[in-house]
Amino acid sequence: MTPLHFHLAWVEFLADHRNIYLTYFLHSISFSGTAYFYFFFTMMVYVAWDKRLAVRLTVLLLLTMTFNDLLKILLRNPRPFIADGTYKEKWAVPSSEAKSLALEYSTPSGHAMGSSAFYSYLFAFTRSRFIRSGLVVLVIVIGFSRPYLGVHYVEDVLLGWALGLLFGLVAIRYTERLANHWRKVPYGFQIAITFAGSAVVWLLAVAFNGRHIDSQVREMTIYCGWLTGLVIACPLELRIVNFDPRSGRLATKFLRYFLSIGIMIAVSLGLNAAFAPIAANASFIGSALDYLRIATASFAGMFFAPFVFCKLKLATAMPAA
């Protein structure tokens, strides 16, 4: 596909007028729009505050980012300064980050799309004007950071904001209705639907990407695996464990949080070490194993970790749902 004719001059203007302190700040704040941040944030909400909110935020984010990656692969628009090879000098990101970003497409911005969907849902959930104002500012600053750092066009951000806000508004309006319908679906069919949907999304991504399995396709594999583990784990957790995230003191909640994160990381690293000799990441088998690895880690964090909480008296179990 022909590259989109976005305004590189706007990105060049920002690159030519950077301030070292502002650059450091915006690179740091940009982390608030990454999948890593959302992972740590939603797990904290899950183990220490509101399980239902955490699950809904996670599902919204994963669907939004999966759609974002599909659009990127379909549009195939290179990031700024990739065409002339000057991105290493123009981008204000570490070389290790630049290396991975250079392999991904630009349109629309995942940071802008993910943050506007994620934080707009949080905006609707809270009634605090202070928090709402902070969420709006955060979305704006995250979006601005991307062309400022040189890794996105301004148009990427505007499109990402629009699409993310659309996802967020749909979630705000219809989540309760959709959740009620989803609960009526038999558990086995829920798993089958999620697995089949993940397979279809993966096949579409590979087809759009010229049958190549690159980092963008691997990201989608991770999102789909994360969602599958959640779909398997949550009904079991409610039926068998059903821990109360508000139980315990603050120190106990932090202990639950670090324990759950540790379990997920240990499972992911362990399976990664076990699967690495079997197949390369950029292969069909490698993608399937990656999907299984993330789904298992997600299941461990959302079911096995709560099971451990209750066994160790770190959480109080509520009546079975």
Task: State the Cα–Cα distance between residues 97 and 103, nearest whole angstrom.
Answer: 10
Percent of the chain scored above 90 by pLDDT?
89
Task: State the Cα–Cα distance between residues 57 and 276, nearest whole angstrom.
Answer: 31
With a CB cutoff of 8 Å and minimum separation 6, the contacts of 138 are 29, 32, 115, 119
| H or E stretch covering 316 | strand 316-317
According to the model, what pLDDT value does residue 212 have? 87
According to the model, what pLDDT value does residue 320 have? 64
Whether the predicted pLDDT of 217 surpasses 80: yes
Whether the predicted pLDDT of 52 surpasses 70: yes
Reported as a single tens digit per residue, the pLDDT across 148-200 is 999 999 999 999 999 999 999 999 999 999 999 999 999 999 999 999 999 99
265-273: list long-range contacts, CB under 8 Å, 24+ apart: 265/297, 267/293, 267/296, 267/297, 267/300, 268/293, 268/294, 268/296, 268/297, 271/296, 271/297
Q: Residue 150 carries which DSSP code?
A: T
- What Rg do the C-alpha atoms of the chain give, in angstroms? 20
Residue (of 194, 180, 183) closest to 231 by Cα position: 194
3-state SS class at 106: coil
Reported as a single tens digit per residue, the pLDDT across 62-81 is 999 999 999 999 999 999 99
**What average pLDDT score do residues 47-56 get?**
96
According to the model, what pLDDT value does residue 3 have? 62
Reported as a single tens digit per residue, the pLDDT across 231-266 is 999 999 999 999 999 999 999 999 999 999 999 999
According to the model, what pLDDT value does residue 1 have? 53
Residue (of 139, 130, 290, 133) closest to 221 by Cα position: 290
According to the model, what pLDDT value does residue 302 have? 97
Reported as a single tens digit per residue, the pLDDT across 93-143 is 999 899 999 989 999 999 999 999 999 999 999 999 999 999 999 999 999
Tokens describing residue 270? 């362990």
| H or E stretch covering 175 | helix 154-183
Whether the predicted pLDDT of 321 surpasses 70: no
Read out DSSP for 216-254?
Answer: HHHHHHHHHHHHHHHHHHHHHIIIII-EETT-S-HHHHH
pLDDT band at 214 (very low <50, low <70, confident <90, very high): confident
120: buried, middle or exposed (CB in 10 Å: 19+, 13-18, 0-12)?
Answer: buried
**Ranges of each domain in the chain:** 8-35+75-178, 185-321
**What average pLDDT score do residues 203-213 get?**
90
Whether the predicted pLDDT of 277 surpasses 60: yes
